[in-house]
Chain A
């Protein structure tokens, strides 16, 4: 297909299905953006109605063993780090529940000692008391570990491949367990088999040629929908933003291409959920509300303890794998360092108002624990 260099599916265990061909045609073919947007709007309405699901991320820990060039949590960044205790996670969860959220995403860096599976199980157990729907976004785990987390009450798994381009992936993931491309690639299917009901796929736009990445993501979505036919598949295309460590996105994607991609995914996969985070600015988020996006976060904090300030007393830095205390002068007003800068800083309440003004009903609760106990 014109515009896509090389074979985007080379080295990937995904078939070039009809859906993939359809995606390429919509994304890179002659159809005008306005016409594609109209199709996307119709499909979104038909399949999801005039609604928007809302969710909130809760960062558990910014400790990480990986060194990734684009991520603020990367091991060698001398950032302020902390892992919330399960009690502190509960405080953050209660706060988010009070704000109105009923759909929670637990996020963590990869650190088996600081953030072991038993800890994840414990935090899920504590948060399902306040949230009918809990999902996790952590490093890829083994099937048995996923089963434990599902057993604790989580129903959603978010695991973005970051990049489907093996060369770019190897280059960006300098060291740490995350270097294992295939371990990560197989994660969503292991999660499905372990019983997760909603599975989120995605690429980080900016690591490699986004045209190839989008086609690969389409193939992954298409593949997972076939083998994981009982799962609700969602997808996301977070565009990288500047992060600690001085990262600047490599391959920029224009707003116009981003909107086109959302629309092309919507029309290709009419029933897939499409997630849009606060990485994107308010104007763009508002424009995309009707064009395919079905899940949004709001008022997000992307550091552990960001909502209530819990965990502040244990902030530290990590130097060559060792914890180092903050200097006395650093404590004044210090918070853990965020993963990325939030662009749309509106609160959940403000976003709800905008949704209503646009004739969209904010949906907070769309799941019940009774469905998967």
Chain B
């Protein structure tokens, strides 16, 4: 008899509840219609959109109309500050986003280096402090730095989003040791962001106890983005279910027999 598979538990950012633990980025897709199809297949309830790609003047520029393709009733549009090099620029972008009618939720990305897009911890903390005071819900993208994660929590960040590996690198959870500490210490959701290249990487992050993952490149540049979105959805669900079910302890060696103490059972 087939038993009904129960869904995994929901989770919250601030007061808002979500069921999907997969967040999607919207860059790098071959077309906006493909992006929308992948988004639907992924079941994601939160999508990030780079503010530099959209019209912030309120003029609905048809040459920058990505937001038109996203159903804001179904998913939360999380504006990101990609391109900002310092706290001032990120704060300015966040305020413009709200003025342009976007939700007061910001994925804070401050990377002065345009090549590896690695986040600046000092500017990120400063911007978080400013924006939290202004009533924003802030999700900061950070290095996998446990101390910084705690400092951001104290500053009022709604989540922390440590990187698994450099953005777009598809290398997986290379910062595993530090992310384990962040998860252990966190009182806000931990979303592993950046560098996850395969559904197995997403599953790994969820198995570790991360609350969610954010995926962009791995889905957007896949031969079949819709198929890959489904695969990540399954990877995330598998990882979360495994976490909730309690994974067995791991060991480097097989433990089937006990050659040294077996005589005790004879």
- Residues on A close to B: CB < 8 A? 45-51, 100-102, 132, 197, 225, 229-232, 271, 356, 359-361, 363-368, 370-373
Q: Which residues of B contact A370 (CB under 8 A)?
A: 51, 56, 89, 92-93, 96
- Docked Cα-Cα span, A232 to B63, in Å, equals 23
B51 touches A368 (CB 8 A): yes
Q: Which residues of B contact A197 (CB under 8 A)?
A: 85, 114
Q: Which residues of A contact B92 (CB under 8 A)?
A: 370, 373
Question: A231 CB to closest chain B CB, in angstroms?
Answer: 7
A366 touches B113 (CB 8 A): no
Q: Of B55, B56, B89, B96, which is within 8 A of A372 by CB?
A: B89
B84 touches A371 (CB 8 A): yes
Q: Which residues of A contact B113 (CB under 8 A)?
A: 229-230
Considering the complex, give the chain B residue whose CB is closest to the CB of A358. Answer: B30
- Docked Cα-Cα span, A26 to B75, in Å, equals 45
17 new A-B contacts at CB < 8 Å, known A271-B116, A365-B63, A370-B51: A47-B168, A49-B28, A50-B28, A50-B221, A51-B29, A100-B63, A102-B61, A102-B64, A359-B30, A359-B31, A361-B32, A365-B53, A365-B64, A366-B52, A370-B93, A371-B85, A373-B92
- Docked Cα-Cα span, A361 to B54, in Å, equals 15
- Docked Cα-Cα span, A50 to B32, in Å, equals 11
- Docked Cα-Cα span, A336 to B169, in Å, equals 48
5 A-B pairs in the complex with CB atoms less than 8 angstroms apart: A102-B64, A229-B113, A229-B115, A361-B29, A370-B93
Q: Which residues of B contact A271 (CB under 8 A)?
A: 114-116
Interface string of B82-96 (1 = CB under 8 A from A): 011100010011001
- Say yes or no: A371-B89 contact (C-beta < 8 A), given A229-B113, A230-B112: yes
A371 touches B93 (CB 8 A): yes
B64 touches A364 (CB 8 A): yes
- Docked Cα-Cα span, A10 to B135, in Å, equals 58
B52 touches A371 (CB 8 A): yes
B30 touches A360 (CB 8 A): yes
How many B residues face the partner with a CB closer than 8 A?
33
- Docked Cα-Cα span, A100 to B96, in Å, equals 23
A361 touches B31 (CB 8 A): yes
Question: B82 CB to closest chain A CB, in angstroms?
Answer: 10
- Say yes or no: A49-B115 contact (C-beta < 8 A), given A100-B63, A365-B55, A373-B92: no
- Docked Cα-Cα span, A101 to B115, in Å, equals 25
Interface string of B201-223 (1 = CB under 8 A from A): 00000000000000001001100
Query: Is B27 close to A, CB under 8 A?
Result: yes
Q: Which residues of A contact B8 (CB under 8 A)?
A: none
Query: Is B175 close to A, CB under 8 A?
Result: no
Question: B99 CB to closest chain A CB, in angstroms?
Answer: 10
Query: Is B170 close to A, CB under 8 A?
Result: yes
- Say yes or no: A102-B83 contact (C-beta < 8 A), given A359-B30, A363-B53: no
Question: B60 CB to closest chain A CB, in angstroms?
Answer: 12
Q: Of A132, A225, A373, which is within 8 A of B115 by CB?
A: A225
Interface-central residue, A51, A101, A360, A373, by most chain B CB under 10 Å: A51
- Docked Cα-Cα span, A130 to B89, in Å, equals 20
Interface string of B158-169 (1 = CB under 8 A from A): 000000000011
